[in-house]
Structure 1
Amino acid sequence: MPVTPTLSHRWPVGAFFGLLALLGVALYQDYGVGWDEQVDRLNGIINAKYVAMKLAPEIARRQPSFAEIPDLHGSQDTDHGVLYQLPLVLLEKVARVEDTRDVYFLRHLTIWLTCVAGTWVVYRLGAWRFGSWQWGLVVAGLLVLSPRLFAESFYNYKDPVFMGFFALAIYTMLGWLRQPTWQRATLHALACAAAIDNRTMGVLLVPMTISFAGLELMFRRNEWQRFIGSFALYLPLTAVGVVLAWPYLWENPVENFVEAFQSFSRYRSDMLTHYLGQDVSVQALPWHYAPIWIFVTTPLLYSGLFAVGIGVVVRAALRPLHWLASPMGRADLLLLAWFIGPVLAVIVFHSVLYDGWRHLYFIYPAFLLLAVRGLQALWQAWHHLHSAPLKKTTGWVGTVVLGVCLAHTVVRMALDHPYQNVYFSIPPVATTGMLFERDYWALSGRRGLEWILAHDTASTVPIGTDARTRLALHNALLLLSPPQRARVRMVPPNQALYFLGTYRWHPEAYPNSYGPAVFEQRVNGLPILSIFRLR
């Protein structure tokens, strides 16, 4: 049921999100530049040039920098919407930041604040589903205390941001299903368009909306006119919104969207990923790739509660008519569809995934909502115990288990900072981490360069790395100060004085010919970066 804001909970909720924003302000400069950040930024700049040439061609032609910017047509990233990237480009201009260090720090802070807004949406979903702002904060708290998502909320422009937009569309869908007015249909259409313009996977929202509107009509037949009338507005508004906010679609909306969708669903590369100790082509992933990655990177407490939540929902679903007759039952079905549907689609259609399960982060709020469904069921079962000694004992045991598990997650996040992106939940981490890709965002390169420059006083320092991770070294340069960048000379390994060894495609130890590492960056005992002085 919806929760009406009151003064009694505005303060704790406001304090939670205020402290969350301040936490990001304190930490945003600690993270490196992720693998895709330069490409994503360039995509935004290319689209900004295209929009300028379309809307103000005379002014655009007088911009000297435009000559160096590639044209939109022919760009390899036209299958990525730019609803988020375009405003970031404009923000750079407004803030007048030019040095790469300032540019990426600004972008990292902006991403974090965007993800805080997405966390607020997840809080609202939890508060609505469980009828309590306290339970809503529990859901939001578990999202914040998800180590990998926490780290990526500073530098991953795609997946955590898309997760927030997808959650917003689910929230507006629930609002429209409760009250099918044209105003709510408009809000939902805009939210769906925004999600699609972040990632084309957002098109899943359209069949979900249609399916659950049909389900509502089965139990609210007297409202069919309101549903049909507002739904007739939803589809065209969604389509218009998608086209308006995606410049690549302007010239040929249908054909270009189909092309972008096919390009997204048929990944061009035959890249290898390290999975369960083997190098596997991303074009031939085993069916269990996504479920295993979700399990080994999510705190075990959350997975256990999720299993309980699934059990509670399945038990209720054994009486389907009674279950679906309740609005909360239909809400639980929506959560199941939100989480299980995309995972099954990936398995059935052999979709390409890489870098763990980040392409499926948008299902994680549903995972957490089902986990809290399990926690709430345990709480209610405990509350109805009649035996006072049993109630006291189980209460203490449950409190200790929850407290220890949450404290362990908090401590690990603090100790692993700023490499929470290498979090694994299955001990021993040093063994588990050998079976999977580690720092696939290549954030540790920044720490490596800073260490070298702090321990070598030469005016120029030749540094090399593997050919496949050369981009990681270049990304690491972007956050150095200009005097530091001037000292670094990127060279092939055979000309380098220092060699940066990373472990994305190199799970084993580096050969003895490199000599002993002069520095290693480890996360919970797992090496993610080794520096060798070659001569």
Structure 2
Amino acid sequence: MSVPTFSPWYPRLFFGLLLLVGLWVVDDYGISWDEAIQRRHGRVSIDYAAEKLGLPPPALEPDWHLEDYQWANYGMLYQLTANLLELQFGWQDDPYQYYRLRHYLNFFLFWLACYFFYRTLRLRFPARDWYPLVGTLVLVLSPRIFAHAFFNPKDHILLVFYLINVYTLLRFLDRRSWSNLFWHALATGLALNTRLPALIVPLTTVLILSWEMLRERPFSRQNLWWIGAYLPLSVVFLVPFFPYLWEDTFRRLWAAFSEMSDFAWEDYVWLFGQQLFALDVPAYYIPAWILITTPIIYLLFLFVGGYAALRRTVGALKKGRLWQDGPGLLDFAQLGLAVGPILVVILLGSTLYNGWRHLHFVYPSLVFLLMVGVEYGRQHWARPQVQSWVLGAGMALTAVQMVYDHPHQHVYFNAAIQGEPLNVRFDMDYWGVGFRDAFLQLARQVPEGEVRRIKCETWPCKDNLLALPPEARKKLVWEDKWHLADYLATHFIWPGTRYYVRDRIDHYAYPAVELRPSGNLTIGIYNLKVPAKPQEE
């Protein structure tokens, strides 16, 4: 199953256009809740690394030390890179620039991941030139995935390096060589340096090689040598970018894995109008979020692809194998890499956050299965051209919706969700990304030379306010005292505000700006200088 050379021009055109589109819209996206936190993680790590290397410590976070830091067990590859670039450009005191830098870096990494996803699909469909491009376009035209590619500094960094790691795994399985194993170990170390859930990839690697050893007669010593080299190499590539592991490496690494499986976040999430405790969400939580935030046409082909991959695996099991050929091995691996992490969090009862962003990293594997479904349909349906039109129509409608909702694709729901206002049934803009757009709209209402004071309910609101472009920043300032503020800015994360705005109680009756992508309220700015409407008894 060899990989042909690239076609001369259309992949280059596709990735060139994707890069241009991303650079064109990158400034439209706001600051997410985790960006300030992740920035601090990197600053604490830089101080620690400088101390251990005997360099003059920059003292970026003088009140913190990594060994006592609550999040010391997190890999810091992205955070270190972003902070070092920020220091290099001298932007450490300019929120507008240092957040902008991170958004550019985020999108570039996503663009790179799309390229590796294209290469992954080339491994699976070497004879069908257009399949890899269509699959890559499906990944891009996935509203929540696309939006998070700009502002998510944690979960989508994992998606990027997980996807690259999956590619190196499949490439190694397709063409066994020491050089391919080396690159796979490097990708594994980098993926584990983003988030430890990437552990599923080295586990899959070891399980596949071990399975081959068990079923081969005589015993395959080559696989044993590969496993023996792969695991230590992965650790070697993990440690340099993970300063906390520079001392007492294996004990701290074990502690990091233990904390990953037992992390407590004592807060609540919303789904279908229910307020759920994050430590005790139902088993259907993640599957439900995937089903309601993925375009319906994509889901249809995904189910077909999942069925085809499972059917192929069952057929191999009847012959005492897990796969029968090269494509079967790739499908089996991607099926496990897509479904495995979801099953793990369900079986372990893991703490889950708002939506399913923390498991976005499995989505490329789901798209891979979607393309397996496309192939299965063309082979088995009476009129294969129909499914091409159906998928094309679904992609076109999704693209139109993404343009219409821009830059708020992160609150996309598919057509299955109808009825009562979504902001009283689901977590919407829980990260506060839309504050930027709302503030820019408000700034346009303020006459030149005048200033308005904004009361924020959460820090993403303040971060977005401080990181506005200079011309808008002159008109809007942060105000902590209610009686001095002109406006209240909110993203309705507190239970009461969801219903107050629905019923237009108090200052929620006087909106200055309300963002409603696809008609669904996500962000509001309300006038506090208008007499409050009395609440009915």
- Structure 1 length normalisation: TM-score? 0.91
Give 1:4 shift. Answer: 2.2
Q: Which residue of 1 aligns with 2:54?
A: 56
Q: Report Cα offsets for 1:217-271 as digits up to 9, x if no partner.
A: 4566568232222221111111222222200111121222222223333233211
Give 1:400 shift. Answer: 4.2
Q: Secondary structure, in 3 states, of the residue corresponding to 2:499?
A: coil
Q: Which residue of 2 aligns with 1:129?
A: 124
Output the CA distance in 1 between the equivalents of 2:27 and 2:276: 34
User: Aligned letter for 1:52?
Assistant: A
1:213 aligns with 2:206: no
Give 1:166 shift. Answer: 1.2
Give 1:509 shift. Answer: 4.2
1:402 aligns with 2:391: yes
1:481 aligns with 2:469: yes
Q: What aligned pairs does 1:227-266 form with structure 2 within 5 A after superposition?
A: 227-266=223-262
C-alpha change, 1:534 and 1:227, in structure 2 (3 Å) is same
Q: Which residue of 2 aligns with 1:388?
A: none
Q: Which residue of 2 aligns with 1:21?
A: 19
Q: Secondary structure, in 3 states, of the residue corresponding to 1:213?
A: helix
Q: Aligned match of 2:156 in 143, 157, 160?
A: 160
Output the CA distance in 1 between the equivalents of 2:60 and 2:433: 30
Q: Aligned match of 1:120 in 115, 119, 126?
A: 115
Q: Secondary structure, in 3 states, of the residue corresponding to 2:119?
A: helix
Q: Which residue of 1 aligns with 2:437?
A: 447
1:82 aligns with 2:76: yes
1:170 aligns with 2:161: no
Moved more, 436-445 or 474-483: 474-483
Q: Which residue of 1 aligns with 2:330?
A: 331
Give 1:135 shift. Answer: 1.2
Q: Which residue of 1 aligns with 2:5?
A: 5
Output the CA distance in 1 between the equivalents of 2:500 and 2:129: 49
1:313 aligns with 2:309: yes
Judge conservation of contact 1:437–1:505 (CA < 8 Å) in 2: no
Q: Report Cα offsets for 1:100-142 as digits up to 9, x if no partner.
A: 1111112111110111111111111111112234211121111
User: Aligned letter for 2:284?
Assistant: H
C-alpha change, 1:323 and 1:273, in structure 2 (3 Å) is closer
Structure 1 gap segments, 5+ residues each: 386-390
Q: Secondary structure, in 3 states, of the residue corresponding to 1:211?
A: helix
Moved more, 443-452 or 282-291: 443-452
Output the CA distance in 1 between the equivalents of 2:388 and 2:301: 14
Judge conservation of contact 2:453–2:478 (CA < 8 Å) in 1: yes
The count of aligned residue pairs is 516
User: Aligned letter for 1:522?
Assistant: R
Q: Aligned match of 1:525 in 505, 515, 519?
A: 519
Output the CA distance in 2 between the equivalents of 1:209 and 1:67: 39
Q: Secondary structure, in 3 states, of the residue corresponding to 2:18?
A: helix
Q: Which residue of 1 aligns with 2:34?
A: 36
Q: Aligned match of 1:464 in 455, 459, 472?
A: 455
User: Aligned letter for 1:241?
Assistant: F
Judge conservation of contact 2:421–2:520 (CA < 8 Å) in 1: no
C-alpha change, 1:178 and 1:455, in structure 2 (3 Å) is closer
Q: Secondary structure, in 3 states, of the residue corresponding to 1:464?
A: strand
Output the CA distance in 2 between the equivalents of 1:502 and 1:341: 33
Q: Aligned match of 2:489 in 500, 515, 533?
A: 500
Give 1:275 shift. Answer: 1.4
Output the CA distance in 2 between the equivalents of 1:296 and 1:180: 40
1:109 aligns with 2:104: yes
Q: Secondary structure, in 3 states, of the residue corresponding to 2:12?
A: helix
Q: What aligned pairs does 1:84-103 form with structure 2 within 5 A after superposition?
A: 84-98=78-92, 99-103=94-98
C-alpha change, 1:166 and 1:525, in structure 2 (3 Å) is same
Q: Secondary structure, in 3 states, of the residue corresponding to 1:10?
A: coil
Q: CA RMSD in A?
A: 2.2
Moved more, 172-181 or 16-25: 172-181
Q: Report Cα offsets for 1:367-410 as digits up to 9, x if no partner.
A: 1111111111111234xx5xxxxx4xx73x44543333222100
Q: Which residue of 2 aligns with 1:199?
A: 195
Give 1:460 shift. Answer: 4.0
Give 1:455 shift. Answer: 2.2
Give 1:159 shift. Answer: 1.7
Give 1:494 shift. Answer: 4.8
Output the CA distance in 2 between the equivalents of 1:2 and 1:113: 29
Output the CA distance in 2 between the equivalents of 1:439 and 1:96: 31
User: Aligned letter for 1:3?
Assistant: V
Judge conservation of contact 1:181–1:230 (CA < 8 Å) in 2: no
Give 1:273 shift. Answer: 0.8
Structure 2 gap segments, 5+ residues each: 530-537
- Percent identical: 30
Output the CA distance in 2 between the equivalents of 1:337 and 1:311: 13
Moved more, 322-331 or 226-235: 322-331
Q: What aligned pairs does 1:334-349 form with structure 2 within 5 A after superposition?
A: 334-349=333-348
User: Aligned letter for 1:413?
Assistant: M
Output the CA distance in 2 between the equivalents of 1:472 and 1:66: 21
- Structure 2 length normalisation: TM-score? 0.90
Q: Which residue of 2 aligns with 1:417?
A: 406
Judge conservation of contact 1:80–1:199 (CA < 8 Å) in 2: yes
Give 1:527 shift. Answer: 0.6
Give 1:323 shift. Answer: 6.4
